[in-house]
Structures are given as structure tokens and as C-alpha cells.
Amino acid sequence: MTTSKQIADRLELMQGTLDMLILRTLLLGPFHGHAIARHIQRTTEDVLQVDHGSLYPALHRLERKGWITAKWEMAKDRNREFKYYRLTPAGRKQLASEHSKWKLLVASIGRVMEPAQEN
């Protein structure tokens, strides 16, 4: 059972951020849903907890917007098919735009939070 201590260490993902993280992950190549969640968690050293419940609705939403496509493909390491998602050119563009927006946001917040570094 997850304890309350562990919950406190982890951060809830902001709405919309998950989409960007999924797109960024898929930049590395095709992944299935579980692998995407695992990749985000591992990369952030388990700080960002991907709620599995919201992962799949997000994937289907991105697919409907045409930013990613899905295909049932044979896994390399085992003899069965998984649903693999991959980035479309439109998704690549969307990622770029969200990335720059995110950078601007982080920089702006940073200036407010740590004004000393400005000088």
C-alpha cells in the first residue's frame, strides 16, 4: 500500500503537462502505454508519478487530435503484439510549440521566484 509519506514526495502532474511529456517521450521512438508511463517515471527518478488512469484517456485524446498514431505491432523482446504509439509530424510541431511555451513559463516563474539571479 502506498503510504502518505511517499505521496508527499511525488508531484501531481499539472493538467496539460502530461500531454507534453508523452509527446516528448515519443520523440525517442514508438512506445506502448506502459512503457511511456515507466519512461516518465524513471527519467524523473519517480518524482513525477504518472497516474495510469489518466494516461490512456490522454493517449486517445492525442491520437484523435492527430499528434500521435497507434498501431498494433510485435514487441522486439517478446512474441506478442502491443499497441505502439508514435509521433506524427503534426505532433512534432505541437511538441516544439509546447516546449517553447514551457521554457518561457519556467523562465518567467524563475524570475519571480529568484529575482537575485537577474543581476
Nearer to other proteins, 31 or 87 (CB): 31
Nearer to other proteins, 86 or 109 (CB): 86
**How far is residue 103's CA from residue 89's CA, in Å, rounded to a whole number?**
21
Nearer to other proteins, 53 or 89 (CB): 53
Min CB(38)–other proteins separation in Å: 7
Min CB(12)–other proteins separation in Å: 14
Min CB(21)–other proteins separation in Å: 17
Min CB(31)–other proteins separation in Å: 12
**HEC sequence for the chain:** CCCHHHHHHCECCCCCHHHHHHHHHHCCCCEEHHHHHHHHHHHCCCCECCCHHHHHHHHHHHHHHCCEEEEEEECCCCCCEEEEEEECHHHHHHHHHHHHHHHHHHHHHHHHHCHHHHC
Nearer to other proteins, 65 or 101 (CB): 65
Interacting residue ranges for other proteins, rule: CB under 8 A: 32-35, 38, 51-54, 56-57, 60-61, 64, 72, 82-83
